[in-house]
Amino acid sequence: TKRIYDFSEGTGEMRKLLGGKGANLAEMSRLGLPVPTGFTITTPTCINYLENNESVSQLWSELDGAIERLEQRTGKHFDDPTNLLLVSVRSGSQFSMPGMMDTILNLGLSDETVEGFAELTGDAHFAYDCYRRLLQMFGEVVYAIPKIKFDNIIARQEEQSKKNVTDFSLTELKTIITKFHKLYEEHGLVFPQTATEQLRIAVTAIFESWNNKRAMTYRELHNIDHNLGTAVNVQSMVFGNSGEESGTGVVFSRNPSDGENELFGEFLINAQGEDVVAGIRTPQPIASLAEEMPNMYHELKKLVEQLETHYHDMQDIEFTIEDNRLYLLQTRNGKRTNQAALRIAVEMAEERLITKEEALLKVTPDMVNSTLHDVFSEESKARATLFSKGLGASPGAASGKICFDSEAAKALHLAGDPVILVRNETSPDDIEGMITSQAIVTNHGGMTSHAAVVARGMGTCCVTGCGNLVIDEEAGTVSVDRVTLEEGDWVSVDGTSGVIYLGVLEKESITTNHHLTTLLEWADTVSDLKVRANAETPQDLQTAMDFGAVGVGLARTEHMFFKKERLQEIRKVVLTEDEAEKQEALEKLLDYQRSDFEKMYHIVREKPMVIRLLDPPLHEFLPSSSKEIEVLAKEIEWDVSKLTNRIHSLEETNPMLGHRGCRLGVTLPELYQVQVKAIILSAMTLRRKGVPVVPEIMIPLVAEKEELSQIKAQLIKVIDDVMGREKCPFPYEIGTMIELPRACLIADDLAKEADFFSFGTNDLTQMTYGFSRDDATKFLSEYLEKGIISHDPFQTIDEHGVGELIKLAVARGRSIKPDMVIGVCGELGGDPTSIKFFQSIGLDYVSCSPFRVPLARLTAAQVGL
Ligand code: ADP
Ligand code: MG
Ligand code: MG
């Protein structure tokens, strides 16, 4: 097997073999872009080394060959002080794992060659700066000498010399280097003095870093296979730290935070490698490169555009400028916030860079959901006290208790508190703390710092570069001017504006987003599965319509009875023995319902709306406490004991299997009659105003054809009566909810009576499994843990059981009425996996809660693509 590919031998398709970084370096070389030359050791080589203990002798001889070729291409040589070849050694797996693995720069320098390198470049300061960086990176990455020890040596020298490390004199640099060598000695180590030895040790260290804790945590978090291994890229060095005409930076082809089509990023003059990302020096925005090095800026802009066009996606690019020459060191599809993902997909389609179908596939249902992210209300912002301001690195709004490290974050989180992690800067070691936080705030670093990148990836609100924070980790405080907060104090973080407020602010949800609207319009044109909403209050109905529901799949009338004065009337209907009192109560209920339905029809208008007649067991409407019973008894002039007995007589052992649904329609026909009368009358009001409403009346929990026939016959009588009296006939439909296994089995019979079907998946799942939906959580988690079931059937359709019943019911129903409209309502109507199933069996629509409508519209479109 071939273990090593020169960049010229690979392509962008070879991610699995060469890792993402290697494949893209190869692809960029192939496109003729300015990439320093190099080669890639393949991912299976890493796995063979780690898992199969493959001997390295074969690899080393291939590596020698690859270095020889590299020497030929560059005209430079390892260990040759007159013409020194230096390389970077860079890990890179199939999936990008930011900061998870470590890079070594300037590899090849030694005590001897650094002198030659100084002469060669004519810049001793630069040469020794490179060497001190190599000693530091090599010590940290390869030998795991604690970073803090290197930092301390530098810090002490900085104090003594009263200047920054970047301004050290040659002598000071040499002192540092001597001290670094001593540090190695203290750890029983020597820094290897030949390039080949350095390289071999570095390569195996990178292989081993595949299994470090950070990398494992990241893989577990993102469900990445542990068996992929990492590739190792060896690339000739270019130097961003060789003076004022040099620098290094990171640039995105579009803004990863809000998606705007603009060059976005940061750079540092006279800097190398991770300086930008590490957040140690605060970098300059890319726009100022246009002023400082206009030629470089324009060339960069051109290359970035070329890369974006080539990859058909937003690119995240690392570049280095060496003495006014631009090099590209990495490109990859950039991580972005969900909001940015949406905007980028839509705008790329509008720019014809991608098709509308491709745009629809670039956005996941989850993203859609979270773009409806929270913001603080304008009002509460106006009242709030500002604490600090930084860069809005990842949007969202979060309030929580502050803490200063990962451990504290986890502890607070476990205690059930929302957490805001406040740090000078984050590093990969903070991952676990970041996961458990509602928001992340950093003192240093810019929009491309570790904190910003990781937060955007996780969709967590984040503010970076709040430069005025003074964090005292030991004391557990953070101060701005004279305001000092302690661990556990509350703040509110606005990830869009970058403002941190004291205390807790009020939140609002965003409901409109111009790009989402456009994307979902495209979705509707390609999908054949419609999306309705479950809603009955005017506010929910309005939200549903704003989110683009084509109608209402389920309006639950009982929700409208749970108001004090209405409850009273329904109680009278159920309890009283006085016919006149009962009629009076029914009249009142008629008025209430009529005004409810009218309001609903005014919002929904001619769009279809399925109104379900009363469903829950009667006892839900009756008082249970003795105090309430007393009050009610007085009002209906009953004996307390008589009322208590009557209520007891209505109690049931299994209410969900009891006197509910259409069974109420049979035993208490007046209630259904009043509801239907109210529906018809309110529809009539709209009809008279010219809105062609066609009421859809749904009878729940039907198990027998005869239940449906009898109830329907009564209702039709009422309807005929009203329409006749008002001389205003119009069409309407009476359908049934299919939520019992028996109803599925006799769906052909039911179809003879029903104008439409709607599957109530909550009850159908409950009745099919025999799992009480109110109590099953007590054992479902154990069922999941033990692998008895693979997922919660109340969240995602049980295709083999419940799904089969639905399929069968659809087939039997349509065998009688081929064109019958069949939909589904209930939680599953808003679940992407279930939506796919419903589309595949030919349902006409799904109905879900208003906030899931956008997600459902996108999913419905994606299943057809
Ligand atoms: P990461 O995966 O953490 O981004 P990289 O391998 O991309 O690590 O390396 C980090 C940084 O090191 C790069 O952004 C680049 O600035 C610098 N670097 C890597 N290789 C070279 C090279 N051959 N010449 C100059 N700088 C390099
Ligand atoms: Mg990189
Ligand atoms: Mg039900």
Categorize the per-residue pLDDT at 662 as very low, low, confident or very high, splitting at 50, 70 and 90: very high
The residue among 277, 258, 221, 488 whose CA lies nearest residue 396 is 258
Q: How far apart are the two ends of the chain, measured CA to CA in Å? A: 39
Q: What is the mean pLDDT of residues 546-574?
A: 87
Residue 626 lies in a domain: no
What is the rounded CA–CA span in Å between residue 288 and residue 297?
9
Residue type, 468: N
From 333, 361, 389, the end of a domain falls on: 333
Atom of ligand 1 nearest to the CA of 318: 14
What strands lie across the sheet with 461-464, from one edge to the other?
386-389, 499-502, 490-494, 397-403, 419-423, 439-442, 461-464, 391-394
Q: Are residues 154 and 260 in the same domain?
A: no
Question: Which residues touch 389 (CB under 8 Å, ≥6 apart)?
Answer: 466, 497, 498, 499, 500
Range with the poorest average pLDDT among 525-539, 551-565, 659-673: 551-565
**Which of the pair, 435 or 345, is modelled with greater confidence?**
345
In the prediction, which pLDDT does 303 show?
98
Question: What counts of helices (H) and strands (E) characterise the chain?
Answer: 35, 31
Nearest-atom index, ligand 1, CA of 87: 23
Which one of 333, 361, 388 terminates a domain?
Answer: 333
- Residue 340 domain flag: no
| CA–CA distance, 231 with 234 (Å, rounded to integer) | 10
> 87-93 and 104-107: which strand pairing?
antiparallel
Which one of the listed residues 450, 461, 619, 744 is annotated catalytic? 450
The pLDDT, as a whole number, for residue 100 is 54
Q: Which long-range contacts (CB under 8 A, 24 or more apart) does 351-358 make?
A: 351/261, 353/308, 353/309, 353/312, 354/312, 356/522, 356/526, 357/526, 357/865, 358/312
Whether residue 817 sits in one domain with residue 681: yes
H-helix segments, 727-826? 741-745, 747-753, 761-769, 777-785, 804-816
Q: For a pLDDT cut of 90, what percent of the chain falls above it?
A: 71
**Cα-to-centroid distance, 743 and ligand 3 (Å):** 12
Say which ligand is closest to the CA of 773. 3
Domain annotation covers residue 514 = no
SS3 245: coil
For position 480, what pLDDT does the model report?
A: 93
726 by DSSP, 3-state: which? helix
CA distance 103 to 209: 11
Index of the ligand 1 atom closest to the CA of residue 277: 14
Specify the CATH number for the domain of residue 750: 3.20.20.60
Answer for the pair 120, 83: CB distance below 8 angstroms, yes or no: yes
Q: Is 450 one of the annotated active-site residues of the chain?
A: yes
Residue 628 pLDDT more than 90? no
Taking alpha carbons only, the member of 820, 760, 840 closest to residue 794 is 760
Q: Which atom of ligand 1 is nearest to the CA of 99?
A: 3
Mean per-residue pLDDT for 358-367? 91
Give the model's pLDDT for residue 277: 66
Average pLDDT over the chain, rounded to an integer? 92
Q: Are residues 65 and 14 in the same domain?
A: yes
Closest ligand 1 atom to the C-alpha of 102?
A: 3
pLDDT score, position 157: 93
Question: Which mutation among 300, 329, 331 tests ligand 1's pocket best, with the greatest number of atoms within 8 A of CB?
Answer: 329
Q: Which residues contact 378 (CB under 8 A, 6 or more apart)?
A: none
The answer to whether position 519 is within a domain reads no
Q: Which amino acid is at 481?
A: D
Q: Residue 766 C-alpha to ligand 3 middle, in angstroms?
A: 10
Does residue 317 register a pLDDT over 80? Answer: yes
Give the integer Cα–Cα distance in Å for 2 and 65. 12
- Taking the C-alpha atoms of residue 25 and residue 4, their distance in angstroms, rounded to an integer, is 14
pLDDT at residue 99 above 60?
no
**pLDDT, tens digit (0-9, with 9 covering 90-100), for 820-844:** 999 999 778 988 999 999 999 999 9
pLDDT of residue 398: 94
Average pLDDT in the 630-648 region? 88
| Helix residue ranges per DSSP H, 605-739 | 626-635, 640-650, 662-667, 669-688, 705-726
Amino acid occupying residue 230? T
Mean pLDDT, range 216-245, rounded to an integer: 91
Ligand closest in space to the Cα of 698: 3
Nearest alpha carbon to residue 530 among 70, 320, 204, 843: 843
10 Å Cβ neighbour count for 154? 18
Q: Tell me whether residue 413 is in a domain.
A: yes
Take residue 595 and report the two structure tokens written for it.
């005004």
**What is the distance in A from the centroid of ligand 1 to the CA of 248?**
10
Co-location of 224 and 275 in the same domain:
no
> Looking at residue 670, what is its pLDDT?
94
Supply the residue whose CA is at minimum distance from atom 1 of ligand 1: 99
Whether residues 468 and 397 share a domain: the answer is yes
Q: Give the ligand at the shortest distance from the Cα of 106.
A: 1
| Domain match, 21 and 141 both | yes
Question: Does some domain include residue 847?
Answer: yes
Written as one letter, the residue type at 319 is: F
Q: What is the largest CA-CA distance in the chain?
A: 111
Residue ranges of alpha helices (H) inside 403-484 are 406-414, 431-435, 450-458
Return the sign of the alpha-carbon dihedral for residues 443, 449, 450, 454: positive
Ligand 1, atom 23: nearest CA belongs to which residue?
A: 237
Q: Is residue 762 part of a domain?
A: yes
Find residue 285's DSSP bridge partners. Answer: 266
Closest CA to ligand 1's atom 17: 273
Distance from the alpha carbon of residue 857 to the mean position of ligand 1, in angstroms: 42
Residue 389: give its domain's CATH number: 3.50.30.10
Q: What is the pLDDT of residue 457?
A: 65
The residue to mutate among 70, 103, 129, having the most atoms of ligand 1 within 8 angstroms of its beta carbon, is: 103
Cross-strand bridge partners of residue 321? 247, 326
Whole-number Å distance, alpha carbon 41 to ligand 1 midpoint, is 16
Look up residue 818 and give its two tokens.
């081929």
What does the pLDDT read at residue 509? 65
Ligand nearest to the CA of 96: 1
Give residue-wise pLDDT tens across range 280-302.
Answer: 677 899 999 999 999 999 999 99
723 with 855, same domain? yes
Q: For atom 9 of ligand 1, which residue has the closest CA?
A: 103
**Closest C-alpha to 195, from 71, 73, 74, 72:** 71
Cα(512)–Cα(372) distance, integer angstroms: 8
Q: How far is the CA of 554 from the centre of ligand 3 (A)?
A: 11
Higher-confidence position of 775 and 788: 788
For residue 639, is it within any domain? no
Q: Of 812, 814, 848, which Cα lies nearest the Cα of 830? A: 848
pLDDT 10s digits, 49-98: 998 888 899 999 999 999 999 999 999 999 999 999 999 999 999 987 75
Cα-Cα-Cα-Cα torsion 193, 194, 196, 198, nearest 10 degrees, comes to 20
CATH number of the domain enclosing 329: 3.30.470.20
Co-location of 843 and 753 in the same domain: yes
Query: What residues pair up with 509 in beta bridges, in sequence order?
Result: 374
**pLDDT score, position 774:** 72
The protein residue whose alpha carbon is closest to atom 11 in ligand 1 is 273
State mean pLDDT over 203-224.
Answer: 87
Highest mean pLDDT among 25-34, 462-471, 566-575, 819-828: 25-34
In angstroms and rounded to an integer, the radius of gyration of the C-alpha atoms of the chain is: 34
Looking at residue 409, what is its pLDDT?
94
Distance 552 CA to ligand 3 centre (A): 16
Question: Above 60 in pLDDT, residue 126?
Answer: yes
Name the token pair of 674.
Answer: 């009043």
| Region 671-685 average pLDDT | 97
Q: CB of 669 within 8 A of CB of 715?
A: no
Phi then psi dihedrals of residue 103, to 5 deg = -110, 140
Q: Would you say the C-alpha torsion 712, 718, 720, 723 has a positive or negative sign?
A: negative
Which pLDDT score, from 0 to 100, does residue 508 have?
Answer: 77
**What is the distance between the alpha carbons of residues 268 and 373, in angstroms, rounded to a whole number?**
33
Distance CA 504, CA 692 (A): 48
Q: How far is the CA of 740 from the centre of ligand 3 (A)?
A: 9
CATH of the domain at 183: 3.30.1490.20
The ligand whose atoms approach the alpha carbon of 89 most closely is 1
Residue 842 CB coordination number (10 Å): 13
Boundaries of domain holding 399:
373-509
Residue 373 predicted with pLDDT over 60: yes
Identify whether 444 is a catalytic site residue: no
Do 152 and 220 belong to one domain? yes
Which residue has the CA at smallest separation from atom 8 of ligand 1? 103
Residues in contact with ligand 1 (CB, 6 Å cut-off) = 36, 88, 90, 99, 103, 105, 235, 237-238, 248, 273-274, 318, 320, 329-330
302, 333, 364: which is the final residue of a domain? 333
Whose structure tokens read 């996961």? 435
How many domains are there within the chain?
4
Q: Which residue has the tokens 């209430």?
A: 592
pLDDT at 635 over 60: yes
510 pLDDT more than 80: no
The residues near 415 (Cβ < 8 Å, ≥ 6 apart) are: none
The predicted-structure confidence for 422-464, as pLDDT tens digits, reads as follows: 999 888 778 889 989 999 999 987 777 788 877 876 778 999 9
Task: Say if residue 446 is in the same domain as residue 471.
Answer: yes
Q: Which of 403, 744, 825, 848 is catalytic?
A: 825
Same domain, residue pair 300 and 423: no
Please list, in sequence order, all residues whose beta carbon lies within 8 angstroms of the beta carbon of residue 567, skipping any fewer than 6 positions away.
Answer: 561, 621
Q: 496 and 546: one domain? A: no
**Residue 333 three-state SS:** strand
